[in-house]
Amino acid sequence: MMRTLRNTCITVAMIAITSLLSACGTSPQRLYVNPQVGEMGVVGHGQQIVVGVIDKRPSERIGSRDGATNASSYLVVPTGDLTPKLEAQTISALRRMGFVPVSAEQANPGASQLTISLTELAYGVKRGGLITDTAALNGVIQAVAVSGQQRYTGSYTATRDQGYALKPSQKKNTELVSKVIGDALTRAFQDTTLIRQLDQ
């Protein structure tokens, strides 16, 4: 009787563990990224800039970590986590450049406006052979600067290819995606035409 009960308990435990592992295996890899803007020069003169940040991606899903289309392979970058970080980096960059980022409610009449949008973020896999594959990432930032009656729109792309023998971990993928977004955002603030539009 005791042996039967013990065997039953072991069987139930193994089923529970198997179910748990299976559930973990079918979960998308959610990436909570932390993009950073590179060093900026001081060019502003204390002008107010109304800042807006938008995630224009068609989906939070950016691709698959092994090229497959099953749910366990999906990579997801949540909008609710990403947008505030993009906004914080945009505000930080503008302040370092000598501008004064403000909300629309705080702005003086005629203040310039800068809208930063993430329009594309993609993660793909290039098959390399028997041993190595390559994670191919692409990110696109759009910046729209409005000052008076003038408007300027720029698009900034960053790419990154990362070879690997073992599939990148969640931590590694988070680092890769953060780097691509940060590079695209940095290129926006290195666009002298965009900055001249704001520096009026």
Q: Is the pLDDT of residue 5 over 70?
A: no
Q: What are phi and psi of 106, to 5 degrees?
A: -90, -15
pLDDT per residue over 6-42, tens digit each? 554 444 344 444 333 333 445 789 999 999 999 888 8
By the 8 A CB rule, do 137 and 64 touch?
no
What percent of the chain stands above pLDDT 70?
Answer: 84
What pTM value is reported for the model? 0.83
Q: What is the DSSP letter of 169?
A: P
- Any idea which residue has 């990362």 for tokens? 162
By the 8 A CB rule, do 28 and 75 touch?
yes
Q: Over the chain, what is the mean pLDDT?
A: 87
pLDDT value of residue 200 = 78
pLDDT value of residue 167 = 87
